[in-house]
Structures are given as C-alpha cells and as structure tokens.
Chains A and B, each alone.
Chain A
Amino acid sequence: MATIVQRPQLSLLERSYFPAILGGLWITIKHFIKTLFGQTKVTMQYPEQKWDSALPEWYRGAPTLVKDEHDRERCVACQLCEFICPPRAITIKPAEFPSNGPWAKVEKYPEKFDIDMIRCIYCGLCEEVCPEQAIFLRKDYSITGLTRAEMVHDKEKLYELGGVRHGLVNKWNEKK
C-alpha cells in the first residue's frame, strides 16, 4: 500500500529561509564563543595528553618479555609463540645451556628473540600459549620508528618494555 507522506505546509516567512538561517547562525556562534572561551573541551592533545590512565587492565598493547623477581628470564625458548603467531611476527633463535652446568635441567634459552612490530597484530595468542608466562601484552600502543629495522624489537628492548613480573615459575626451581 502506498504511503503518502504529507509535506509540511511552510508559511511564507519559513519559505524565505530567513528564520532557519538566523537560527542556524545563532547555534553556531554559541558553539564558537563557548569554544573560544574554553568552556567546551572535547579534543585531547594527543602526544602530550594520553588516555593511558583510562586503559583497562586487560588492554592488549605491545607484546613484551618479562623477567621474574630474581631478574632471571622466564622464556625457555620452546618456540610455541613463534608457531602460533598468526602473522609470523616472532623469530626466536634458541641456544642450549651447557649440559654440565648448574642449569642443565633448564636446557634452552632464547639467544635471539625478535618481534617485528610492523607485523604484530596485537592478537595476544603468544601470551595465551606461553607455558612459562614469559610473554605478556603490555599497555604500550604507540610503537613508532623511522625505519623497518627500528620497528623490530629485539630481546633487550622486549625485556626493557616488559619489566618484572612476580609469580610462580618453575623452571629455575631445583626441586621441580
């Protein structure tokens, strides 16, 4: 069934556009004056002001490596994160502990651990898969660089960003 939409009947004054134009001008000048005298503030000055304090606990920022409370690395170079990473952002080169040394039981440590931040999609799968709770997504989101090489976070950088995380880790425990 056809619906007939009734066009509003405009008076002569309304059809002259003037009331609507003046009304519009009044609205915009109010906004102009309010912003001019700083009564409206909606834009955040990004690099100086950030939303960081408002980021939730579970925010998925840059993936980083963490150390335990004794400043020892947690990663055992199992390479699970390397395998699961969807865009293949992680490159690990494992190395062996000497078999006659005190930490022979730990077996492996990452000699090289690179995350290419141009590739990373911040999915958080590496954090989820890590058996040693060694890799965590932190709140850093503004990862910038001038070259591609600069955008690859190496082990040092990853530890620097990650810091220390307390909690149960078994690998350095001689009894386990």
Chain B
Amino acid sequence: MSLMPSLDLFLQPEIFLVWTSALKTFVILGVVLTMVAYSVWAERKVSAFIQDRIGPNRVGWAGLIQPVADGVKLLLKENFVPGGVNKFFFSIAPSLAMIPSILVLAVLPFGSSLFGVPMVIANLDIGVLWVFAVSSLGVYGIVLAGWASNSKYPFLGGIRSSSQMISYELSLGLSVVPVFMITGTLNLGEIVQYQVDNGWMVFPAWFQTGAGLRDMTTESGSMFGLDLGKTLLWIPMMISFVVFIIAMFAETNRIPFDLPEAEQELVGGYHTEYSSMRFALFFLGEYAAMIAGSGVIVTLFLGGWSLPFVPDGSQGWFWGLVNIGTFFAKIAAIIFFFLWVRWTLPRFRFDQLMKLGWYVFFEVALINIFLTAGILAYLQS
C-alpha cells in the first residue's frame, strides 16, 4: 500500500516527463557512445577488408573489444600541452567539437513510441533548424583548436574547415527545403510520420496506409501504388538526397572532403598538437558527428524508424522496440556507406572542393526548390 503514493507521484504529467526524458537521454547517450566506439572498430575492419587485410582481431573475438583497448590507451597517454598555445581555448576546443554532435541527437525521433512514450528526447517544432544551428557550431571547436595551437598546420586546417563549412552549410540547408515544402512541417517526428503514411522520401513507392499526398491529391493510392504526384515529386527528392548526403560528407569532414585534417598535407590538421584524451575527444566527436549526420539523413529521407508493413509502437512494446532497432540499423547502413566511400575515393583538391560547393551544389539545391514548388503548384491546380 505504501507503494501506491510514490507511484502516483511518478505518474504525474510533469514528473513523468522529467524522468522519462532523463531515462531516454541516458539510454541514447549510452547507445550512441557505444556506436561511436564501434564505428571506429568498423572503420578499421572495413578498411582492412577493402584492402584485402584482416584488421583488428586480437582483442576479443574478431577484435570486438578493441575499442576498449583503444580507449584505455588514449586515457593512459600523457596529456601534453605544447608551450605557446592559448591554454584556455586549447582546452575547451575538444569539448566544443564533441558537444554539438551529441546535442543534435536530442531532436531525432529514434523510435515510434514505447508504452505510449514518444521515442524522441525533445519533440521540437523547429527540429530541423535545431539540427542545423547546433551542428554548424561544431566548426568552432575545429577553428579554435587550429588557432589556439599556435602552429601553422593546425592553423591551415582550421581555416580550411571554416571555409568548407560555410560553403557546404548553404547547400545542406537548401537541399532539405523541398522536404519541408512537401511535408509542410519542420518537426522531425511529423516528417517521419509523413513518410510512414506516404512512403519514404527516396522510395515513395513503399507506403503503408495508402493515404496519398496530404492535402494535395484526393484519391488514395494502393499499397504499392505510385501516383502521378509521387512520381513527379520523386525527382526533386532524389536530387535533394544526393546533394544532402554529399554536403553531409563535407560537414562531417569525411573523405573525399577531409581537407581540415588531410594527414599527408597538414600532419593531421587541426588536432596535430593534441594528445591523449583531448585528441580522443576530437576523434570521438568526428564519429559522433557522423552518427548524428546519418541520423538526420535517415530521419529526413529514409523514413526514420519506419519499415514497410511493420506497425508502430502503438501496437505493442515489441513493435516499439523493432522500430528503434530499425532506426539504428538504418544509421549503421549509412555509416557503412560513409566508410565505404572513405576507402574508395581520394581527397578533393581545395579549389575543386570550393568550386563544387559554390558552382554546383548551391545552384542545384536552389533550382531544386523552384522545381519542387513548380511540381507542388501543378499538383494543387
């Protein structure tokens, strides 16, 4: 009997919100940090397999405990601060590089719902704006690291990074505008729900309920149907997807756009002067950014947690878990794609990179918006 009052307290709306959010935050943080560790492992394994090697296989079965060994190694190393650095900025830069990518996770809907609790930490109506605003802060970490190191290579890395971010942020932002034009919302959860109803942005032929385009077409399609509106909208969606994913490569400093760190030219770029745990933070921040970026790609274009013919969490906790698993499996697939590209392509030259950003992707993304607008206007008329 004494249990009841305390249970009631936990079920009061405000308190319920607080402890479920805290729980979700901790679980997601745990899952994502584990994923970060294992994407480093995957990076080494994939690179090895692509180059006909074996990769880490000593620590644990197939090297699965390798991330722990790496972490311990980095922790035990001497944390060396070179003379002549700006101590304050030098020490906060690694955290500044790591934090934004983690913050992005707050708005990503990583599942439908579990026991009626929506599986998103913060259900913001401006979800996508939050993602862009926060993720572009990541450049501060890199620029400050380059500047505070008081050394030429990190400095060059920092400069490259800032100019690269500025040129690709534009196409990144513009390429998702068509998505909002079609869905009519900035809330990531609603964007996923739209894709559940109408098929994924990049595979509109798969949809579950056959409701047709919201507000735009009156007749409802069949299970596998592709009506005129969807086929037409598929074109700008594919363009958006390609531009967005390429811009994401540039945002997360992955090859072929890893100019800020370019080992061969800049001796590691902005983190040349860092060692031990500070270096590890940059390293982890980069992978966390990759995971967050993949999460955004999955949410916006690949249907988030949805799979065709799989019900959402309102049908029972089992399906809620399946949805969460689906989301992380999709992220893993995108990460594999990132790794695959990294071990295939050489690095772009800096002028090629800028040209590509300003002359090609910016225009393509801009034209794509007008194209989408035209198609939507045609469909509504």
Contacts and interface: CB of A to CB of B under 8 A. Distances in A.
Q: Could you say which interface size class chain A belongs to?
A: 10 to 19
Interface string A1-27: 000000000000000000001001101
Interface in B294-345: 340-341, 343-345
A31 B54 contact: no
B52 A35 contact: yes
A21 B54 CA distance: 25
Nearest to A27: B344
A28 B52 contact: no
B340 A29 contact: yes
Interface residues of B, number: 13
Contacts of B52: 31, 34-35, 40, 42-43
Given A28-B340, A29-B340, A43-B54, A35 B345 contact: no
B49 A24 contact: no
B53 A32 contact: no
A149 interface: no
Nearest to A33: B49
B50 A31 contact: yes
B100 to A, nearest CB: 29
Contacts of A28: 50, 340, 343-344
B51 interface: yes
Nearest to A47: B58
Contacts of B139: none
A54 interface: no
Contacts of A24: 344-345
A37 B176 CA distance: 39
A168 interface: no
Contacts of B343: 28
A14 to B, nearest CB: 15
Contacts of A35: 48-50, 52-54
A36 interface: yes
B46 interface: yes
Interface in B38-75: 46, 48-54
Nearest to B57: A45
Contacts of A31: 49-52
Interface of B: 46, 48-54, 340-341, 343-345
Interface of A: 21, 24-25, 27-29, 31-32, 34-36, 40, 42-43, 45
Given A28-B344, A35-B49, A42-B52, 4 more contacts: A31-B49, A31-B51, A32-B340, A35-B54
